[in-house]
């Protein structure tokens, strides 16, 4: 079963979804149309299957809200296309992988938990605010020009690898359980 959000607005508003069917159960894969900005509002919590964004989306998860992809023993992936923005003040949990095809911006002041791997395309920009945390249980692989600003906490259970032109800054911590490699940059 697949559900498609077609209009900017609140996730819980059935008028924003094709045929009025909200993506809200683990057996449903969800896709976002191009140029829409869905918001999961405070107090709303959803568990879905795989999630795929269109181009130019901004997924907003407010404080006190959550979005979970999959479950233990049922991994589901999050795949983004061009120019995706993730604004996470609540909680985003991905029981599979985060796969970024091109250009992503993360603004994290809440919690992001990725049980699988992170595979970023080129030009990824990740900002983790002072109260934010990102946990990647697998490997974290970034393309060229990966920019990481950490004033909160980032933990990578596996290896961290980024391409040329990448950089890291901030007053927070990045802990890597495996190795760190950074092409010709000084990221590590």
pLDDT at residue 187 above 90? no
Confidence at residue 186, expressed as pLDDT on a 0 to 100 scale: 78
* pTM (2 d.p.): 0.96
Name the band, by pLDDT with cuts 50, 70 and 90, for residue 184.
Answer: confident
Taking 3-state DSSP, the helix, strand and coil percentages for the chain, each rounded to the nearest 5, stand at 5, 45, 50
Q: Above 90 in pLDDT, residue 24? A: yes
Nearest to 157 by CA among 175, 141, 170, 169: 175
Residue 1 pLDDT greater than 80, yes or no: no
The confidence band for 113, taking pLDDT boundaries of 50, 70 and 90, is very high
Please name the residue that has the structure tokens 């909680």. Answer: 91
Confidence bin at 115 (pLDDT 50/70/90):
very high
Q: Convert 73-107 to b/e letters by CB count within 10 Å (16 or more is b).
A: eeebbbbbbbbbbbbbbbbbbbbbbbbbbbbbbbb
Tell whether the model's pLDDT for residue 80 goes beyond 90.
Answer: yes
Q: Report pLDDT digits (tens) over 171-180.
A: 999 999 999 9
The sign of the dihedral angle between the CA atoms of 167, 124, 67, 107 is positive
- Determine the pLDDT at residue 54: 95
């Amino acid at each position: 079963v697949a559900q498609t959000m077609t209009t900017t607005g609140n996730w819980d508003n059935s008028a924003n979804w094709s045929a009025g069917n909200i993506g809200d159960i683990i057996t449903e894969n969800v896709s976002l149309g191009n140029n829409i900005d869905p918001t999961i509002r405070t107090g709303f919590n959803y568990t879905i299957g795989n999630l795929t964004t269109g181009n130019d989306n901004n997924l907003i998860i407010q404080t006190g809200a959550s979005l979970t992809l999959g479950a233990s023993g049922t991994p589901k992936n999050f795949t983004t296309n061009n120019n995706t923005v993730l604004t996470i003040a609540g909680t985003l949990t991905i029981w599979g992988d985060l796969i970024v095809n091109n250009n992503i911006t993360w603004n994290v002041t809440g919690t992001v938990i990725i049980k699988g791997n992170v595979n970023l395309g080129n030009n990824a920009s990740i900002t983790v605010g002072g109260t934010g945390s990102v946990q990647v249980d697998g490997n974290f692989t970034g393309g060229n020009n990966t920019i990481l600003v950490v004033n909160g906490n980032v933990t990578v259970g596996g290896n961290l690898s980024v391409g040329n032109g990448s950089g890291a800054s901030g007053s927070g911590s990045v802990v890597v359980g495996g190795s760190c490699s950074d092409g010709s940059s000084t990221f590590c």
